[in-house]
Amino acid sequence: MSIQKFALYYILLLALSSFVYWALNQYLFPQTALIPFFWLAYAYMALITLLVYGLSVVGIKMGGEYQSTIILGAIIVRLLLTLCFLMFYILKVKVDAVLFVANFFSIYLLFTVFEIYCLLRNLRDQIRE
């Protein structure tokens, strides 16, 4: 997958998912669906996805024995940065636990599935060559 195609998919993902979260908060569950500072968490996960995807693509381009190490390292970076964000958020913001888990898990799952989809497309392209 080329960088241009990834950028297009990424922008579409951001636009569609932002609209869905906004619509949920405005119309389906007025002002109660999202946690405080939801958009900060959303932006953080979006940036982490870019970072991890970039590291993973570098690993795929290098190939050989470093490919799997760099991809796994990028996944560990994602996990550690996410845990740091969670710790900071939980210590600073008082929020309903169930709502927090539902919101944050949905964001995390959304961006993780997107990243895996894009990485699998890159690996599929690499196998074809």
Q: What angle do CA 103, 21, 48 make, to 5 degrees?
A: 60
Q: What is the overall mean pLDDT for the chain?
A: 87
What's this model's pTM, rounded to 2 decimal places?
Answer: 0.84
Q: What is the three-class DSSP state of 37?
A: coil
For residue 125, the model assigns a pLDDT of 64
On the question of pLDDT at 72 being above 80, the answer is yes
Tracing tokens 């590291």 back to the chain, one arrives at 55
- High-pLDDT (> 70) share of the chain, %: 96
On the question of pLDDT at 66 being above 80, the answer is no
For residue 126, the model assigns a pLDDT of 63
On the question of pLDDT at 129 being above 60, the answer is no
